Amino acid sequence: MVDDAAEPTNEPVPTEDDAEVSDDSDAGGDTEDPGGGAAFSDVPVPIARFTAAGPGDANTIAPSCAPDIELDNSEMYRLTMPDGWSWKGFSGGTGWDEISLRAGDDADMRVIEVATQSELPPDIVIGDPTGTEIDLDGAAVPLVDIELEGRTGYGFVDLAYLEPFPIGPGAALGTVALTSDADGRPTIDEAVALLSTVRVERCEAVSLSQIYGPNAGVHLVPRFEPDPLGKQYPDQRQPSYEPGVSPLAQYSLEQLGYLMPVSADIAACAAERAATLADDPIGYLKVLRPTGTGWVEFDELIAGC
């Protein structure tokens, strides 16, 4: 899990091994805007894939920055439980996260969620390929055997959902697995049914970019391919990171509207409203990743757009 408390407050996130900028990610430093404005960065634009946004089914579990989804007990990913399954609980912190599920009346299941490669549980055992693939947003992704803390199951490992990205491997690599300590569970069919619904929540991809971009000296503007909100990517360079300056003062209105969790038809208006929070130290969090009661404040901000 990427801990909310680790999100930047307009200061660089302390660099650790996983947050080092790879040679491929730093393509030449800053250059000035030809028009004489703020500095811009040559760090490559990350491409975000396997993403989702907007409403989900009644049995969909998603992060708290996803509006209109009742089960906001996940980190980074949304997933949809098979019919007859129920949610039992969630545990998270620094590192990986787990969602507890009940498969009908038969077995308890746990979903292991890992946002970046460095957050893999130290005692996880990644086994051999099962020979089964899932269709993940049009891509064929192989499932492997997984074992963790006496539970066994299946999952996908090191899925590149943000690439290139300024962390050690040069990409944000996600791992999600379904495990159980019940005999013979989960079945491979159960794993396919659940894991094929996994998507990266759009607002979490934006948040991850906010966290790691400053380590590369840039305010990242990831390009969503495809964009679940149907927006067109602004053909503008990414702004350089400046300590003590809010991202809301660095992004163009077009970039800000693209990043915000709003539809394309109100993005321009919403961005203008959001830019008024540039002096608020956490204003960028309020408009790029609202959560909980923060959605009420967000809705008030963009009312009438």
Q: What are the tens digits of pLDDT across the range 150-198?
A: 999 999 999 999 999 999 899 999 999 999 999 999 999 999 999 999 9
| Amino acid code (one letter) for 141 | V
- Which pLDDT band, with edges at 50, 70 and 90, does 228 fall under? very high
% of residues, the chain, pLDDT over 90: 76
Contact at 8 Å (CB) between 38 and 218? no
What lies within 8 Å, CB to CB, of 291 at 6+ separation is 64, 65, 72
pLDDT at 155: 98
- How many C-beta atoms lie closer than 10 Å to residue 177's C-beta? 30
Q: Check whether 19 has a pLDDT greater than 80.
A: no
Q: What are the tens digits of pLDDT across the range 38-64?
A: 588 899 999 999 999 988 888 999 999
pTM of the model: 0.86
Q: How far apart are CA 285 and CA 304, in angstroms?
A: 21
